[in-house]
C-alpha cells in the first residue's frame, strides 16, 4: 500500500486528471437536479467584469508573475472553514507576445526547500517556448523534450501544476488550448470588494461547469482587471488556492529568459 502522504497526493492527482480532461476535452458536469439554476439570477455586473478581464489579458504585450499553488485540507470533516496546507507548489510565469512562454513549477517541502526525487534531483517542471521551438523538462527526464505546440505543453503542464499553468496563460493567448476561465464558470456573481496584498479587488464567486470542482472564487484588481487569487472548493471540502504575486505587464522580457537555464 501507499504511505499516507503518497496516497493523499495520488488522490489529488486523480482529481487533477479529471480537471485536465474536462478543460481540454470538454467533459461536462453531470446532469444534476439543480441544472435549472444555471442561468438563474444572472449578475450582469459580474459578467461585465469577466469580459473586462478577458479583453485586458488578450492585449497585454507581456506578462510576468511568481506564485503559489496551495492544496488545502479541512481541519475536520465538518465545514468549519478552517484549513491546513497539505502541499505547497511554487511557480513562475513568463509570456511575451506573440509566442514566447515559460512556466516553471516545483513542489516545496516542509523545510521550505524544493522536494527531491529518489535520484536526489530537485523535482522541477519546466515548459518553455522561445518563439521558434517548444520544449518540456520533467523530473523523470535528464534532457529537455521537444514539443510540437503550446497546446501539447498546455495539457501536460496543467496536469502537473494543478491548473496553475493554465488559468492565466489561457487568458493571455488562444494558442494555449483548453477552455478559458470565463467559459467554465457559471452562476458568477459579485460578493464584494476586498484588499488583497495591497490591491483593491472585486471578489467574484461562481461554480465550475465541469467534473471535479464545486465552487470557485476570484480576486480581480478593480483598476487593472488582473487576477490575484483563485480559490477552488471541492465537494469533499478540500480547497486549492492559486496566488499570483509580483505581477508585471507590458515590460520587455529579454529573449534569454525564455530558456531553462535562465537565472541558473
pLDDT tens figures, 138-162? 888 878 888 877 777 777 777 677 7
Percent of the chain with pLDDT over 70: 77
Residue 239 lies in a domain: yes
How sure is the predictor about 214, in pLDDT bands with cuts at 50, 70 and 90?
confident
Residue 155 lies in a domain: yes
Range of the domain at 220: 4-257
Residue 262 lies in a domain: no
pLDDT for the residue numbered 85: 76
Q: Which of 67-71, 107-111, 138-142, 201-205 has the highest mean pLDDT?
A: 201-205
pLDDT for residue 137 is more than 60: yes
pLDDT for the residue numbered 231: 95
pLDDT for residue 96 is more than 80: yes
Q: Output the domain CATH number for residue 44.
A: 2.50.20.20
Q: How many domains does the chain have?
A: 1
Per-residue model confidence as pLDDT tens digits over 1-51 = 345 555 555 555 555 555 555 555 554 444 333 443 444 567 999 999 999
Q: What whole-number distance in Å separates Cα of residue 4 and Cα of residue 96?
A: 41
Kindly state the average pLDDT of the residues 155-182.
Answer: 82
How sure is the predictor about 210, in pLDDT bands with cuts at 50, 70 and 90?
low
Per-residue model confidence as pLDDT tens digits over 220-229 = 999 999 999 9
Residue 263 lies in a domain: no
Query: Is residue 80 packed enough to be buried (19+ CB in 10 Å), middle (13-18) or exposed (0-12)?
Result: exposed
Q: Residue 102: which residues within 8 A CB-CB, separation 6 or more?
A: 92, 93, 94, 95, 126, 127, 128, 129, 257, 258, 259, 262
Percent of the chain with pLDDT over 90: 42
Q: What whole-number distance in Å separates Cα of residue 148 and Cα of residue 195?
A: 41
Residue 92 lies in a domain: yes
The residue that leads in pLDDT, 163 or 25, is 163
Average pLDDT, the chain: 81
Amino acid at each position: 500500500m501507499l504511505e499516507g502522504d503518497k496516497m493523499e497526493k495520488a488522490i489529488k492527482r486523480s482529481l487533477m486528471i479529471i480537471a485536465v480532461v474536462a478543460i481540454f476535452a470538454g467533459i461536462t458536469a453531470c446532469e444534476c437536479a439543480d441544472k435549472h439554476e444555471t442561468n438563474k439570477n444572472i449578475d450582469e455586473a459580474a459578467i461585465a467584469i469577466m469580459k473586462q478581464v478577458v479583453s485586458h489579458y488578450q492585449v497585454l504585450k507581456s506578462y510576468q508573475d511568481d506564485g503559489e499553488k496551495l492544496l488545502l485540507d479541512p481541519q475536520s470533516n465538518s465545514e468549519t472553514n478552517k484549513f491546513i496546507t497539505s502541499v505547497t507548489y511554487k511557480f513562475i510565469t513568463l509570456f511575451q507576445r506573440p509566442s514566447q512562454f515559460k512556466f516553471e513549477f516545483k513542489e516545496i517541502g516542509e523545510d521550505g526547500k524544493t522536494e527531491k526525487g529518489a535520484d536526489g534531483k530537485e523535482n522541477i517542471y519546466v515548459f518553455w517556448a522561445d518563439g521558434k521551438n517548444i520544449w518540456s523538462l520533467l523530473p523523470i527526464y535528464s534532457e529537455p523534450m521537444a514539443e510540437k505546440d503550446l497546446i501539447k505543453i498546455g495539457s501536460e503542464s496543467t496536469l502537473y501544476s494543478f491548473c496553475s499553468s493554465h488559468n492565466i496563460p489561457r487568458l493571455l493567448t488562444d494558442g494555449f488550448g483548453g477552455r478559458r476561465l470565463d467559459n467554465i464558470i457559471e452562476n458568477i456573481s459579485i460578493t464584494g470588494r476586498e484588499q488583497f496584498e495591497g490591491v483593491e479587488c472585486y471578489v467574484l464567486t461562481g461554480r465550475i461547469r465541469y467534473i471535479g470542482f464545486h465552487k470557485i472564487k476570484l480576486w480581480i484588481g478593480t483598476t487593472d482587471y488582473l487576477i490575484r487569487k483563485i480559490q477552488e472548493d471541492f465537494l469533499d471540502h478540500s480547497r486549492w488556492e492559486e496566488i499570483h504575486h509580483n505581477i508585471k505587464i507590458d515590460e520587455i522580457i529579454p529573449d534569454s529568459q525564455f530558456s531553462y537555464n535562465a537565472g541558473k
